[in-house]
């Protein structure tokens, strides 16, 4: 069941309904363009495709249904959800998550982070990703905890709601935006017991500034759509800035020869929807999933993510695959070729930058490049900045040296 709706309690109930009737949920970003939706729908071929009107009709019709129904008999290996990630080839692929994947991660996390019935989670994340849909909501559901469910992250709304809450889960941009507001102080978080961050690297400086302002060391954890959560700093014990803590109980983490992180465990997905050939490349021969993140363990066993072997930009906690943006920009009239990279950004962590080579003799207007890209891409993927160059830097193999572009334009 493909679901492309605004965030609402009904959408959460629909997720639960899918789990109970054995339908696999495919959540989509409502901000996706028609192009992006068409790609996913063509690949997934969902039996049902619900938008906001469809969901409203379903809810209205549900009033005449019996109050109770039996769960459909579902096994741990049955499919619970398909979440699309664009992938480094630019072609979206659906990560198949089983009931075991979701349930095992939920069981580990709610215990590890000490969730109880008296907790109230402040929910500010979108619900079409693992972070907002599974990590946050499943920790709450596992305990019957409360939830303040905001439609989106807005500093004013967060400041108003936080005094009623005990836990906040966010991406680093949420925490830097809170710190940028002088109203955010110890008083606002008097009842909060835990701030959790993930989806993108939390700078040690942000961790330090947050602890100084509030007395709370943010708990950073690490995960991926394909694996759900992999590692977490401890609830009790030192939360070490710049690290993502220890592998979760039941999840094994190892470093390959090239230092990339490999993962195995009940949380790890089985493969991509209708792409069986990818199992051979995305998993090792002995069955570990290759994350594409580069890591190291410090002397005390804390895992530190030091880089990415995959070509990926994480902007405000949302993944942007350069290849997907490059394909769109390359197709714009007057563009010969382009390269898309992430450059440091104080708000988003990384911002999308397109370095464009115009066709000889043609004048290309950066604003027009952005406007043309926006027609085909959701706003968060559109380059925040466009730089024009005569040629892209290349290595001896003819490959664009993105590191050089990041160095040149990243200042």
Identify the three-state secondary structure at position 338. Answer: strand
Residue 137's Cβ-side half-sphere holds a number of Cα atoms within 13 Å equal to 23
Pick 351 or 364: Cβ nearer ligand AMP: 351
Q: Does 133 bind ligand AMP (CB under 6 A)?
A: no
Q: Of these, 140, 200, 339, 355, which contacts ligand AMP (CB under 6 A)? A: 200
Using CA atoms of 362, 365, 370, 372 in order, give the dihedral in degrees to the nearest 10. Answer: -50
Write the interaction track for ligand AMP spanning residues 103-132; mark x where CB under 6 A is met and - where it is not: ---------------------------x--
Pick 271 or 316: Cβ nearer ligand MCA: 316
DSSP code for 268: S
Q: Does 198 bind ligand AMP (CB under 6 A)?
A: yes
| Distance, CA of 153 to CA of 149 (rounded, Å) | 10
Beta-bridged to residue 264, according to DSSP, are 252
Locate the DSSP E strands across 309-397: 313-315, 318-320, 335-345, 349-358, 385-388
**By rule CB under 6 A, what count of residues binds ligand MCA?**
22
Pick 169 or 369: Cβ nearer ligand AMP: 169
Residues 154-173 that bind ligand MCA (CB under 6 A): 171, 173
Instruction: List Cβ neighbours of 142 (8 Å cut-off, separation of 6 or more).
Output: 106, 107, 110, 115
Q: Of these, 43, 119, 282, 293, which contacts ligand AMP (CB under 6 A)? A: 293
Buried b (16+ CB within 10 A) or exposed e, 95-125: bbbbbbbbbbbbebbbebbebeeebbbbbbb
Q: Does 199 bind ligand MCA (CB under 6 A)?
A: yes
In sequence order, what DSSP letters do the residues of 21-43 get, joined into one string?
A: HTPPBEE--TT--HHHHHHHHHH
Strands 260-264 and 289-297: antiparallel
Q: Of these, 23, 97, 224, 341, which contacts ligand MCA (CB under 6 A)? A: 224
**By rule CB under 6 A, what count of residues binds ligand AMP?**
18
Q: How far is the CB of 395 from ligand MCA (least distance, A)?
A: 29
Cβ atoms of residues 84 and 26 within 8 Å: yes
Q: Of these, 28, 348, 355, 377, which contacts ligand MCA (CB under 6 A)? A: 348
Q: How far is the CB of 85 from ligand AMP (least distance, A)?
A: 5
294 binds, among ligand AMP, ligand MCA, none (CB under 5 to 8 A by kind): none
Q: Does 348 bind ligand AMP (CB under 6 A)?
A: no
Q: Does 225 bind ligand AMP (CB under 6 A)?
A: yes
Binding interface with ligand MCA (CB under 6 A): 125-126, 129-132, 152-153, 171, 173, 198-199, 223-225, 315-318, 348, 379-380
């Amino acid at each position: 069941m493909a679901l492309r709706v605004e965030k609402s309690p009904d959408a959460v109930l629909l997720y639960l309904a899918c789990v109970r009737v054995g339908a696999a949920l495919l959540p989509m970003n409502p901000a996706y363009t028609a192009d992006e939706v068409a790609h996913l729908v063509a690949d997934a071929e969902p039996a049902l495709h619900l938008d906001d009107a469809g969901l409203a009709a379903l809810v209205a019709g549900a009033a005449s249904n019996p109050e109770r129904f039996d769960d459909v008999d579902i096994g741990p290996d049955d499919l619970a959800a398909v979440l699309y990630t664009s992938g480094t080839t630019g072609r979206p692929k659906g990560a198949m998550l089983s009931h075991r994947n979701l349930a095992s991660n939920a069981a580990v996390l709610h215990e590890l982070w000490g969730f109880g019935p008296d907790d109230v989670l402040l929910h500010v994340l979108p619900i079409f990703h693992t972070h907002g849909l599974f990590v946050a909501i499943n920790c709450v559901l596992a305990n019957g905890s409360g939830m303040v469910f905001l439609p989106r992250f807005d500093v004013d709304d967060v400041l108003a709601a936080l005094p009623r809450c005990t836990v906040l889960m966010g991406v680093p941009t949420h925490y830097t935006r809170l710190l940028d507001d002088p109203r955010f102080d110890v008083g606002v978080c008097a009842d909060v017991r835990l701030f959790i961050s993930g989806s993108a690297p939390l700078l040690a400086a942000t961790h330090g500034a947050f602890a100084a302002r509030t007395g709370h060391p943010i708990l950073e954890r690490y995960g991926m759509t394909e694996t759900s959560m992999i590692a977490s700093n401890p609830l009790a014990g030192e939360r070490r800035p710049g690290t993502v803590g220890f592998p979760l109980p039941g999840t094994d983490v190892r470093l390959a020869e090239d230092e990339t992180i490999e993962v195995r465990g009940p949380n790890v997905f089985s493969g991509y929807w209708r792409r069986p050939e990818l199992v051979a490349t995305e998993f090792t021969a002995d069955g570990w999933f290759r994350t594409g993140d580069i890591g190291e363990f410090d002397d005390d066993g804390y895992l530190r993510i030091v880089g990415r072997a995959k070509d990926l930009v994480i902007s405000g906690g949302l993944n942007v695959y350069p290849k997907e943006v490059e394909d769109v920009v390359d197709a714009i009239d007057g563009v010969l070729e382009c390269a898309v990279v992430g450059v440091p950004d104080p708000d988003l962590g990384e911002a999308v930058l397109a370095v464009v080579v115009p066709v000889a003799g043609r004048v290309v207007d950066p604003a027009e490049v952005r406007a043309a890209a926006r027609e085909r891409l959701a706003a968060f993927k559109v380059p925040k900045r466009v730089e024009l160059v005569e040629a892209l830097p290349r290595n001896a193999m003819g490959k664009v040296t993105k590191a050089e572009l990041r160095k040149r334009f990243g200042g």
